Amino acid sequence: MLVKDWMTTHVYTVTPDDSISSAAGMMRERNVKHLPVVQGELLVGMLSDRDIKAYLPSKGTSLDIYELNYLLAKTKVSQAMTRPVVSIPAETPIEEAAMIMHDRDFGCLPVTEPAPGGQRLTGIISDNDLFRVMVDITGVRGGGHRLALALPDQPGSIKEAGDLARARGFRLQSIMSTSEKAAPGTRYVVLRLRGEGDWAGLVDDIEKSPFQLVHAL
């Protein structure tokens, strides 16, 4: 899965010369927390609700509400936006985008392509888009059964667990695996299963196998 398959292409933007007041109004109206800042088609900055909140304490702590609104109306986006901007190409694997957002504490990443004079904005990938990816790849909307196992961290162990499920009449909807929360030498694996198989029989098979059953739903 690539970013281009999940990114939002209809992106709300502002320019460096727009006021922070108008940008904040767009965020509220469109229910977004991030606005790419463009000059023509080129990406020149990012403005988030955090940028606005970070700008206010240093400028508006001693102002009343009327003075604060006046300040926001006359202050340009360019004075509060973040730059330089971290962006990614549309061909980036979705998991790499998620890693960047997690490691950098970003709520979104603008998607760009090279253009004369800089990078042209083509879309945006947000944390909400990543939630959609998670829901889709796990197949949770399709129901079925969820089998969580602790398996030996060695080649073939996931296939062996899958073979047990298939032998009881199930098909694999998705497989997720991580070693982060697992004991040394093991992997934590979640199998989501579909089909009208023998669930009780499968659970019994797992309990008799070398695999550790974490939970079965």
Over range 149-176, report the average pLDDT: 94
In the predicted structure, residue 173 carries a pLDDT above the cut 80: yes
Over range 141-159, report the average pLDDT: 93
Cα–Cα nearest to 82, from 104, 99, 65, 100: 104
Q: How many CB atoms lie within 10 A of CB 60?
A: 16
Task: Give the per-residue pLDDT at 73.
Answer: 83
Task: Give the per-residue pLDDT at 61.
Answer: 57
Q: Residue 64 — very low, low, confident or very high, per pLDDT cuts 50/70/90? A: low
- 190 near 181, Cβ under 8 Å? no
User: What is the model's pTM?
Assistant: 0.84
- Cis before 152 (ω within 30): no
In the sheet that 118-126 helps form, which strands lie side by side, from edge to edge? 34-39, 42-48, 118-126, 108-115
